[in-house]
Amino acid sequence: MPEPHRRTLLTIATAAITAALLALTQLGGAQSALAATLFTDDFSDGDTAGWSKSGGTWSVVGDDGQALQQAKGDTDNARLFAGSTSWTDYTVQARVKPVSLPADGAVALLARAAGSTTYLRLALLPGNQVRLESVRSGAATVLGSASRPVTVGTWYTLKIEVGGSAVRGYLDGALVASGTGTIGGTGRIGVQTRYATARYDDVTVTSGGTTPTTPPPATTPPGTPTATPTVPPTTGPPPTGQSSVVAKDGSGNFSSVQAAVNAVPTGNSSRYTITVKPGTYRELVTIPADKPYISFVGSTGNARDVVITYDNASGTPKPGGGTWGTSGSASVTVDGNDFTASHLTFSNTFDEAAFDYSAEQAVAILTRADRLVFDNVRFLGNQDTLYHNSANSSTIGRAYFRDCYVEGDVDFIFGRGTGVFDRCEIKALSRGSSSNNGYVTAPSTMIDNPYGFLFVQCTLTTDSAGPQSVHLGRPWHPSGDVNAIGQVVFRDSVLGAHVKNSPWTDMSGFSWRDARFFEYRNSGPGATVTADRPQLTDAQAPNYTAQRYLAGSDNWNPIH
């Protein structure tokens, strides 16, 4: 069965593990790789089960996917709570979009809710203000505030970290305020509006804090007017702490993504968030193996607003001689474990029509690391768009792609990595053929790895490829390696009419029938079951779920 979209982990065993972790990882310390996910909801199931209401009109609506909406603008205190009153030190994060925000309005994320009127609050306010508050019995004490652009109709990412009596608030990955809470040390999480309407999405609660202590910019005591913070220089080291901002207009710490990566300490052992402001960043970016725990976050929440791109192809001449080759063509290369990316685009804009190269593979991203998460990310290219590989043939590299968009034509998702594509759109482009417009996958999974690519609850689409013209995949044997026995499952997905009735095909003399290609309970006009379409049985299907693919020996579970 498909993985659930919402999980609340409140068993005695999890509580014990969490307590042990929190004893070792204080707020502001290094992030534990074993931090537990306590709660997550992306509202894709269309309801508010698991939440308790206190005022307002709440429902789930369509907004770039499903999102929670509070639509009653004339109430001074609309709240929705989730989780357990016994939660102690944790981080809560959510995407938030003010829909209406009048002069007396507020849109907020809540933590440590000990009751319906007692909690910590990070609020977006009119007049370009973000405020961190401690609220007891409805009376608010300001812990700090900052001047930041707050625009109706724009998605923001709010995050609150609580540990002991310390509390910190973040906007789009940047610390805006911190202080000492004046309420109890336990409580639920929540969302809130005051004389405003708003939408919320991707609510996640994890145990422990994730960012070392950083002096908050523009923090003010109660009653003091907030000045506009000084803009740091565009070059030089990032501010103290585990975050930095990239902006082409000079308003961040760096004007290029690679410069921000270069500033991450070698051997970094805690999460380092690089927030990227809107723009097209034409540069080659590499995350080296000795810099794990890096996160790229698009600042607006809209993946189209931040594009990291280049235009090399395999056959593009290199300075000094030779050509780049397939791996070298990548716009972005990820060798550092535990990398994450959200709300941005990776692209390769190589123009096949403009250059007559014999090798036109053009990779948008190459991954050779483990435990990677891509959330609301777009991957754009033509041939060989997404190269999901591993560090070497004896190493497994796992990646979770959630709510992503991948487009291309020939072998545009390929490699020996273990990857789960969960609720993604996979779009086939046209190569101008009436019978063969390419191949979605070209796996090279090693024979001793049971798991290659899993597509679950995905939608396979096209705007231009004709019916019966696109293959689901073919087996890639790099350099003729007979131990590369590709593994792919498409399950519980919607397949467009462009998918062939016989969707698997041979490659370089290797038969697809020797590979491990399966489908299960797909639908749509391209999901016709034929003799050339191996299907999982109901007994086999439980062995091919997102969690089975990604668990590994460390029981990794990023699914949300």
Give residue 250's region: left, alpha or beta (phi > 0; psi -120 to 50): left
User: What would the two tokens of residue 359 be?
Assistant: 């090798």
CB count, 10 Å around CB of 502?
A: 14
The sign of the torsion formed by the CA atoms of 47, 49, 51, 57 equals positive
Indicate which residue of 384, 403, 409, 422 is catalytic: 384
Rounding to the nearest 10 degrees, give the CA dihedral for residues 178, 180, 184, 185. 70
- CB of 471 closer than 8 Å to CB of 440: yes
- CB of 6 closer than 8 Å to CB of 40: yes
In 85-224, where do the E strands start and end?
90-100, 106-115, 118-125, 129-136, 139-147, 156-163, 166-171, 174-180, 188-194, 197-207
Who's near 556: CB < 8 A, 6+ residues apart? 371, 398, 550
538 catalytic per annotation: no
Cross-strand bridge partners of residue 202 = none
The sign of the torsion formed by the CA atoms of 255, 382, 340, 45 equals positive
Cross-strand bridge partners of residue 454 = 420, 489
User: What would the two tokens of residue 540 be?
Assistant: 């086999």
DSSP state of 541: G
Instruction: Tell me the C-alpha distance between 42 and 95, whole Å.
Output: 10
Instruction: Tell me the C-alpha distance between 116 and 126, whole Å.
Output: 24
Instruction: Tell me the C-alpha distance between 395 and 457, whole Å.
Output: 28
Instruction: Tell me the C-alpha distance between 375 and 87, whole Å.
Output: 26
Q: What backbone phi and psi angles, to 5 degrees, belong to 325?
A: 75, 170
Q: What backbone phi and psi angles, to 5 degrees, belong to 480?
A: 75, 20
Instruction: Tell me the C-alpha distance between 384 and 349, whole Å.
Output: 12
63 catalytic per annotation: no
- CB of 165 closer than 8 Å to CB of 134: no
Q: How far is CA 122 from the centre of its chain?
A: 22
Closest to 200 in 3D by CA, of 90, 116, 124, 113 = 124
Q: Which residues are catalytic?
A: 384, 411
